Homo-oligomer: A and B are copies of this chain.
Amino acid sequence: MGPMEPALTIAPGDRIITTTADAHGYNEHMKKVAQKDNPLTGPFFVEGAKTGDTLVVRLEITCPNRDVGWSSSTIAPNVVDPSFVQLLPEKQYRDWKIDRGGKTVTLLDAQNSRPTLSLPLSPMLGCIGVAPPGGQLISTTTAGVYGGNMDYSGYREGATLYFPVFTKGALFFLGDGHARQGDGELSGSGIEVSFVVQFVVDILEGKEIHWPRGENSDFIFTVGNARPLERAVQHASTEMLRWLQEDFSIGIELSSMLLGQGAVFELGNVFDPAYTMVCKIKKSDLNNLIDSNP
């Protein structure tokens, strides 16, 4: 992700419908359309966006657009005890049948293709964000203040996302669709598949944030990407404290207590070069607090 030639120039308010290839570069017709792993769609140059603004992205549709996805067959060596690594099987890729109508994904046995494990369909985008600060061009395998490969299940339709803008036009990217994924991306992949994505962009001019933020119907959330994992917690909780103070006018003590007694954390990934932790506050808790502080 970085200062590449824009794929499309869009304006605030525009509604975009696009597609993404899977992590090995295959599209909805199982045709290879990208040579490198983890290809992204974009960048979208957002007219008017400039350094120091916030880019708003409302995800309206995030849905697989074919019926077969794949995943790694084994848990990754860095997410089990070091002494357990030698017991892991060799890594291979397995196919999952995606039933968009029945809303399930089903693992097919490697030998006889019989169904082996069925789980609810739960689509999400593994990778999303803007061009990094300072003109950097950074691999789509990692993440930072600009977003990136966070593998967080909350990046899905219904969510509104906020990214700090570090360059003219923001240069928005997205991709790496997963039909579903466990917390932590323990096997180093979700159920990888091509997607159709619909989103609307907007800009908050002069609004400066430090890490990706978002909200859905129930929560506001902040995202930290770093190693070790507690550093990701620190980034996310600090950004939430900033948000509560700046935009909800809640003082530092009350913000601290709301986090202390109300924070909900979700693990994005503990596999990629930067780990991801997400700090959430319930909107209902926030409303309780605001109502009682006239």
What's the Cα separation between A72 and B137 when bound, in Å? 29
A74 lies within 8 A of B139 (CB)? no
The listed residue with most B CB atoms (<10 A of its CB), out of A80, A252, A266, A270, is A80
B289 lies within 8 A of A116 (CB)? yes
Q: Is A293 an interface residue (CB 8 A)?
A: yes
How many chain copies does the complex carry? 4
A259 lies within 8 A of B182 (CB)? yes
Q: What residues on B are CB-neighbors of A266 within 8 Å?
A: 265
Q: What residues on B are CB-neighbors of A85 within 8 Å?
A: 77, 82, 85-86
Q: Is A180 an interface residue (CB 8 A)?
A: yes
A246-288 toward B: CB 8 Å interface, digit per residue (1/0)?
A: 0000001111111111111111001000010100000001001
Partner of A88, one of B73, B256, B263, B289: B256
Q: What residues on B are CB-neighbors of A80 within 8 Å?
A: 234, 237-238, 241
Q: Is A29 an interface residue (CB 8 A)?
A: no
Q: What residues on B are CB-neighbors of A262 within 8 Å?
A: 119, 182
A200-232 toward B: CB 8 Å interface, digit per residue (1/0)?
A: 000000000000000000000000001111110
Identify the 8 closest CB pairs spanning chains A and B, nearest first: A187-B260, A77-B82, A182-B263, A229-B229, A228-B228, A85-B85, A137-B137, A75-B256
